Amino acid sequence: MIRRFFVPATFVSSFFFERRGATRSNLDFFGSRRSLGTRNMEHKVPCLCFSSPRVGLTGNLVRKCYRTAVMAVTVVIGAQWGDEGKGKIVDLLAPHFTWIARYQGGANAGHTIVFEGKKFVFHLVPSGILYPDKKCVLGNGMVIDPVQLRKEMDGLAEGGIDFEGRLLISERAHLLLPTHQMLDRAREEDRLVKKIGTTLRGIGPAYSDKFKRCGVPFGEFLDREECVDELLRNHLSQLGISPSPELKEKMDFWKEAARSLAGFVTDTGFPLRRAIERGETILAEGAQGTMLDIDHGTYPYVTSSTTCAFGATAGLGIPARAVTRVIGIFKAYSTRVGEGPFPTELFGEEAQRLREAGGEYGATTGRPRRVGWLDAVALKYAADINGCDGLILTKADVLNNTLFEKTKIGVAYEGLSRLPRKFPPKITVTYRDFPTWPTLRGLEIPPELDSYLAAIEEYSGAPVIALSTGPDRNEIIWRKPFLD
């Protein structure tokens, strides 16, 4: 199907032409109104979808072309503290890619997709799985709880989704044991260490074991099951407990779930690299957000993986040069779950109003999210560090003039020229006020929202290419063509 997207040699000039002539509204990349050939026809994504014209080349020529590949890998990242609505955007873009691949994190992420009247909740499986022709990968950079994954796969099977042969799990992804969750909880309850406010899904301990080189890659478990018992003994000694019948029962269930996934476990990096050579396209799906990145986020109040776009190459086993496009997703306002700095945070009645209007409760834990105004300092940092080619705004519908008369953008932190490594306990934010916009209807962008978007572009340095105006796939306005 992807071959329908082949673009003739003149495509570069048509890009250019399209860019010049483009105005807001649902632009068609090709200029012509040709069908994209997917069941998601109403979502013609401008300047986005096609394979490179290198199919069929071999040897040195492939390698040469590989270097100049224009369309290989697009990475979708969260440009705030997670929960930006990446799931919907990935679901929307998926038809235009051959592969959808998660590269980091685990069941700490979560989103719900309603498809043909059935509700699917994903924590681990990429949402592209709902498209019958897409190949989905759980990359080596992930930490996988096999019980959770089995549950999601069973849910898919019950919903009539056939994933045989097109769901691949990396043999290098690390397994997450029930005791990782116990260790996570024990750490959060330990008064001697800083509470992070984790999702309690065992993510930090699982990545700790990976980096301590005592973790269990999925392939290793399938080769030699005893390695799990060795790790389990290590965990029990850290927890200071002896094995209970309940834990044994839990572990038996866990092992059964892990064994049942054996047929899906493989070297996922190899087929992804070959796919890039063939000119197939990959959508790399990030979880959490830039400000939660282990290296570049608000450490220590972060998750334990590389959430930034560059995590995609390590987390999928593909060359860095294969990444050709990065899309940052951000909400019209900010939210954060768990502890840590949040300079534009709102409190009291205003916060509660925004939380309710946006349904800001954790998809994984149900916790009420902290809410605040849009933080352009953080957004600029995210656009900069990820090298965002474009930004997509979500929840544009929430912040309308029935909720607040005015909205604010935090444009600077007083006394700081940029986002600091460590936030001072009290930070004074300089704000700019903007009028909110009327309830959104159709594809029109009200002038108030347009000025808000223009200011965001000015502060972040990246174009806002689209805005999501509701949870449904149809609720999207393409504002600018998306160019290479």
Among 2, 36, 257, 337, indicate the residue that binds ligand IMP (CB under 6 A): 337
Task: Tell me: does residue 199 bind ligand IMP (CB under 6 A).
Answer: yes
Task: Tell me: does residue 201 bind ligand IMP (CB under 6 A).
Answer: yes
Phi, psi (rounded to 5 degrees) for 323? -80, 120
Identify whether the C-beta of residue 228 lies closer than 8 Å to the C-beta of residue 221. yes
Is 174 labeled as catalytic in the residue annotation? no
Please state, in angstroms and as integers, the Cα–Cα distance from residue 341 to each residue in 129, 184, 297, 329, 422, following that order: 35, 21, 10, 20, 9
Among 75, 124, 292, 329, indicate the residue that binds ligand IMP (CB under 6 A): 292
Residue 287 CB, nearest approach to ligand IMP (Å): 6
Task: Tell me: does residue 338 bind ligand IMP (CB under 6 A).
Answer: yes
Is 235 labeled as catalytic in the residue annotation? no
Distance CA 153, CA 218 (A): 17
Q: What angle do CA 112, 118, 121 make, to 5 degrees?
A: 25
Residue 329 CB, nearest approach to ligand IMP (Å): 12
User: Catalytic one among 83, 91, 145, 397?
Assistant: 83
Q: Which of 143, 118, 146, 115 is nearest to 128 (CA)?
A: 115
Interface pattern 232-271 for ligand IMP (x via CB under 6 A): ----------------------------------------
Residue 198 CB, nearest approach to ligand IMP (Å): 4
Identify whether the C-beta of residue 110 lies closer than 8 Å to the C-beta of residue 74. no
Task: Tell me: does residue 407 bind ligand IMP (CB under 6 A).
Answer: no
Task: Tell me: does residue 198 bind ligand IMP (CB under 6 A).
Answer: yes
Structure tokens at 400: 């309308």
User: Catalytic one among 43, 96, 111, 174?
Assistant: 111
Please state, in angstroms and as integers, the Cα–Cα distance from residue 459 to each residue in 4, 372, 381, 456, following that order: 38, 18, 10, 5
DSSP string, 384-398: HHHT-SEEEEE-TTT
Q: What angle do CA 438, 333, 82 make, to 5 degrees?
A: 135
Structure tokens at 208: 């700790």
Distance CA 459, CA 377 (A): 8
From 32-40, 65-73, 287-295, 464-472, span contacting ligand IMP (CB under 6 A): 287-295
Q: How many CA atoms lie within 13 A of 429 on its CB side?
A: 23
Residue bearing tokens 């986005």: 48
Identify which of residues 113 and 337 has a Cβ nearer to ligand IMP in the complex.
337
Identify whether the C-beta of residue 95 lies closer than 8 Å to the C-beta of residue 39. yes
Q: Which of 145, 144, 146, 126 is nearest to 136 (CA)?
A: 126
Residue 62 CB, nearest approach to ligand IMP (Å): 37
Which residue of this chain has its Cβ atom nearest to ligand IMP in the complex?
A: 338
**Site size with ligand IMP, rule: CB under 6 A:** 19
Residue 235 CB, nearest approach to ligand IMP (Å): 17
Identify whether the C-beta of residue 308 lies closer than 8 Å to the C-beta of residue 294. no
User: What residue type is assigned to position 284 of the chain?
Assistant: A
Identify whether the C-beta of residue 327 lies closer than 8 Å to the C-beta of residue 284. no
Task: Tell me: does residue 83 bind ligand IMP (CB under 6 A).
Answer: yes
Task: Tell me: does residue 368 bind ligand IMP (CB under 6 A).
Answer: no
From 143-151, 231-239, 284-292, 459-467, span contacting ligand IMP (CB under 6 A): 284-292
From 42-50, 194-202, 326-334, 351-359, span contacting ligand IMP (CB under 6 A): 194-202
From 35-43, 195-203, 213-221, 226-234, span contacting ligand IMP (CB under 6 A): 195-203
Task: Tell me: does residue 436 bind ligand IMP (CB under 6 A).
Answer: no
Structure tokens at 205: 């301990």
Task: Tell me: does residue 288 bind ligand IMP (CB under 6 A).
Answer: yes
Please report which residue ranges of 141-200 form alpha helices under DSSP H: 146-158, 178-189
Of 15-74, binders to ligand IMP (CB under 6 A) are: none
Among 85, 95, 146, 204, indicate the residue that binds ligand IMP (CB under 6 A): 204
Identify whether the C-beta of residue 254 lies closer than 8 Å to the C-beta of residue 218. no
Residue 173 CB, nearest approach to ligand IMP (Å): 16
Distance CA 144, CA 161 (A): 21
Pairing between β-strand 334-336 and β-strand 174-175 as defined by DSSP bridges: unpaired
From 14-22, 59-67, 198-206, 455-463, span contacting ligand IMP (CB under 6 A): 198-206
**Partners of 408 in the β-ladder:** 433
Among 31, 155, 159, 197, indicate the residue that binds ligand IMP (CB under 6 A): 197
Task: Tell me: does residue 108 bind ligand IMP (CB under 6 A).
Answer: yes
Cis check for the bond before 463: say yes or no (omega within 30 of 0).
no
Identify which of residues 107 and 449 has a Cβ nearer to ligand IMP in the complex.
107
Structure tokens at 33: 């109104």
Task: Tell me: does residue 85 bind ligand IMP (CB under 6 A).
Answer: no
Task: Tell me: does residue 304 bind ligand IMP (CB under 6 A).
Answer: yes
Residue 119 CB, nearest approach to ligand IMP (Å): 19
Identify which of residues 198 and 394 has a Cβ nearer to ligand IMP in the complex.
198
Which residues are identified as catalytic?
A: 83, 111
Contacts with ligand IMP, residue ranges (CB under 6 A)? 82-83, 108-109, 196-199, 201, 203-204, 287-288, 292, 301, 303-304, 337-338
